[in-house]
Structure 1
């Protein structure tokens, strides 16, 4: 005899399950964060490792692909650390210029509109005088945090190697829970998910590189110092739809305004980033990544906030790829397709919505 449970009981169980899942993620984040990063890197390196396996054993191919990504990431970290070090060395000069710019603005407001400078200017100047100390403390805390995280970072390459080397064994482990008659369907679904996720992650990396190059070229043409640093920093932030471009353009725009004192140059910098963002959203990302796993801005912002609340900075980094993976999984499972539709970006109106609008127009007429 089949027992039918009331709807409120099902929803209560679902909410309880979500609460336990969040509790589990926060409690074991020291284990889950490196595993999540390792899983993304493994998916990214899987095509490279598979090609190398045609010419050499799997262990050697996995090791070579892992060394390749470590070298690339090491060069990126070295470059950004050098740029940040040079930038922090100029904080005293930047704070002095910013203080002078504020004084000019106050003088302009007093001469044109009769607005007298308030005592808050003294507070601003004192705060600006401590920028260098704050920057030094930030760098120091970052170094100490990095030193404390070395143990976790060293685990990620080990996890990536094991995931790539034992991927067939892991797949067979999953098949132990599935009936033989359903394994062929499961294999096809898993392969589709794997291909889509690989294309998304690799495409996202390509988009970031292209946007970084375009941003840097635009800043180079304007003669902005640290053009590569500002361009790459803004490119990484483009994973946040709409808001990323504002955050990415704010730092170089403020830097140009402080150094040149020209509002026109600042607006040109913002226009450059806005134009690159327009190219990225309408041409680069649709052609490189495709619209199948595109995430709408609302879902991306909520994912960033939730990722930051659960796992901090690491959660914000992982939130966009993980939400894209969830969308792919929801697309492959029919009962969860409405959630995939909710997460996805809508480029075209559904046919039902167009018909509904036509009916409303006819009623008004």
Structure 2
């Protein structure tokens, strides 16, 4: 069979990307629960295999790990709700502190600009109707979002059960896509994908735990109010690469300001967050997750943004494991190897503009000795 011209191949690749993106946007409510269930199923595989080794029925060996996951999630929700409840109890004091901060902000604005306090109040009153109208629209949208969340959570255990039950059919389907000569590569890619997803997701669970304990515990010892709530919010948001840490800092500062009339606790919170983040990024997380596949920062940020625009918060959380799986596949496929290079963090020691050997698809010398998946 005659090989297609290179321009046709590249055109087909771009057309395929466009079609995949369109399908993801249109069917995100259907596709994202399936992807989430797929990742959770892989994480539960060791438990399932162990239960099967001790001769438990297959249905029981699948249901028990699913119950463990939902009990764990339920405990997190209970803990978070208890912390929010303590925040609600302090609402009168929070209201008084917010009024003081707003008055101080108003005085500062009056000093640095020509707007008086009266003009600022007139501006706020003028915009209040617009804000109320916007809030009404957001409330109706939130109702739709809440219903979709319940559908998402309701479908997850069903999908997880079916993926584990029919895993051999899915594996056979994957092998039948490729020639028999390529099956060893496919098998290798499947094993590595399983390892990467398990290490990544289990690492994230461990990260949420120790970030909550470290950050919340240190802030609690330092006398910061709502310390545990700040810790759990930051730990969960930190799962979103790059963007989550920034949001966590902002929410931590806002919670501290509502509970304090001075800036001292705010500086303390920011310093503790910075210290815990440094410990997490440079010592703890690399040892827990490891460095099987490295994704460069540009693709990580783009993945988070694209995932968020396609599927909201769930898309942002799932962007990194999806990119990691794609890189494993691309690195083992001659046709798509350039996409694996684009996602990776392996920088050539010399410029491809000056050295033709660095323009080829083969392995090249890199500036950092990273594993090539």
- Provide the residue aligned with 2:250 in structure 1: 250
- Structure 1 unaligned blocks of 5 or more: 357-365
- Provide the residue aligned with 1:221 in structure 2: 221
Instruction: Tell me if 1:171 matches 2:171.
Output: yes
Deviates more, 1:131-140 or 1:197-206: 131-140
Deviates more, 1:130-139 or 1:189-198: 130-139
- Provide the residue aligned with 2:312 in structure 1: 312
Instruction: Tell me if 1:154 matches 2:157.
Output: no
- Provide the residue aligned with 2:64 in structure 1: 64
Query: Contact conserved, 1:234 with 1:245, CA < 8 A, in 2?
Result: yes
**Structure 1 residue 117 displacement after superposition:** 3.2
Aligned-partner SS, 2:247: helix
Query: Contact conserved, 1:88 with 1:135, CA < 8 A, in 2?
Result: no
- Provide the residue aligned with 2:350 in structure 1: 352
**Structure 1 residues 65 and 240: alpha-carbon distance in aligned structure 2, compared to 1, 3 A threshold:** closer
**Structure 1 residues 81 and 345: alpha-carbon distance in aligned structure 2, compared to 1, 3 A threshold:** farther
Query: Contact conserved, 2:39 with 2:197, CA < 8 A, in 1?
Result: no
Query: Contact conserved, 1:197 with 1:328, CA < 8 A, in 2?
Result: no
- Provide the residue aligned with 1:268 in structure 2: 268
**Structure 1 residues 3 and 195: alpha-carbon distance in aligned structure 2, compared to 1, 3 A threshold:** closer
Aligned-partner SS, 1:312: helix
Quote the Cα distance in structure 1 between the aligned partners of 2:105 and 2:14. Answer: 54
- Provide the residue aligned with 2:296 in structure 1: 296
Deviates more, 1:197-206 or 1:328-337: 328-337
Instruction: Tell me if 1:77 matches 2:77.
Output: yes
**Structure 1 residues 224 and 241: alpha-carbon distance in aligned structure 2, compared to 1, 3 A threshold:** same
Q: How does 1:108-127 map to 2 (within 5 A)?
A: 117-118=116-117, 119-121=119-121, 123-124=123-124
Q: Deviations over 1:107-134 (max 9, x none)?
A: 46768x7976352255458989x99999
**Structure 1 residues 163 and 211: alpha-carbon distance in aligned structure 2, compared to 1, 3 A threshold:** same
Query: Contact conserved, 1:304 with 1:316, CA < 8 A, in 2?
Result: yes
Question: How many residues end up aligned between the 2 structures?
Answer: 350
**Structure 1 residues 102 and 18: alpha-carbon distance in aligned structure 2, compared to 1, 3 A threshold:** same
Aligned-partner SS, 2:53: coil
Aligned-partner SS, 2:350: helix
**Structure 1 residue 28 displacement after superposition:** 2.2
Quote the Cα distance in structure 2 between the aligned partners of 1:105 and 1:18. Answer: 48
Quote the Cα distance in structure 2 between the aligned partners of 1:224 and 1:126. Answer: 37
**Structure 1 residues 72 and 141: alpha-carbon distance in aligned structure 2, compared to 1, 3 A threshold:** farther
Quote the Cα distance in structure 2 between the aligned partners of 1:134 and 1:5. Answer: 53
**Structure 1 residues 10 and 336: alpha-carbon distance in aligned structure 2, compared to 1, 3 A threshold:** closer
- Provide the residue aligned with 1:43 in structure 2: 42
**Structure 1 residues 131 and 165: alpha-carbon distance in aligned structure 2, compared to 1, 3 A threshold:** same
Deviates more, 1:273-282 or 1:323-332: 323-332
Quote the Cα distance in structure 2 between the aligned partners of 1:337 and 1:181. Answer: 18
- Provide the residue aligned with 1:24 in structure 2: 23
**Structure 1 residue 41 displacement after superposition:** 0.9
**Structure 1 residues 206 and 345: alpha-carbon distance in aligned structure 2, compared to 1, 3 A threshold:** farther
Quote the Cα distance in structure 2 between the aligned partners of 1:140 and 1:4. Answer: 51
**Structure 1 residue 79 displacement after superposition:** 2.8
Quote the Cα distance in structure 1 between the aligned partners of 2:300 and 2:44. Answer: 25
**Structure 1 residues 225 and 147: alpha-carbon distance in aligned structure 2, compared to 1, 3 A threshold:** farther
**Structure 1 residue 186 displacement after superposition:** 2.3
Query: Contact conserved, 1:295 with 1:324, CA < 8 A, in 2?
Result: yes
TM-score (norm 1): 0.81
**Structure 1 residues 328 and 91: alpha-carbon distance in aligned structure 2, compared to 1, 3 A threshold:** farther
- Structure 2 unaligned blocks of 5 or more: 355-373
**Structure 1 residues 352 and 99: alpha-carbon distance in aligned structure 2, compared to 1, 3 A threshold:** same
Deviates more, 1:54-63 or 1:283-292: 54-63
Quote the Cα distance in structure 1 between the aligned partners of 2:272 and 2:259. Answer: 18
Quote the Cα distance in structure 1 between the aligned partners of 2:78 and 2:291. Answer: 34
**Structure 1 residue 320 displacement after superposition:** 2.5
- Provide the residue aligned with 2:9 in structure 1: 10
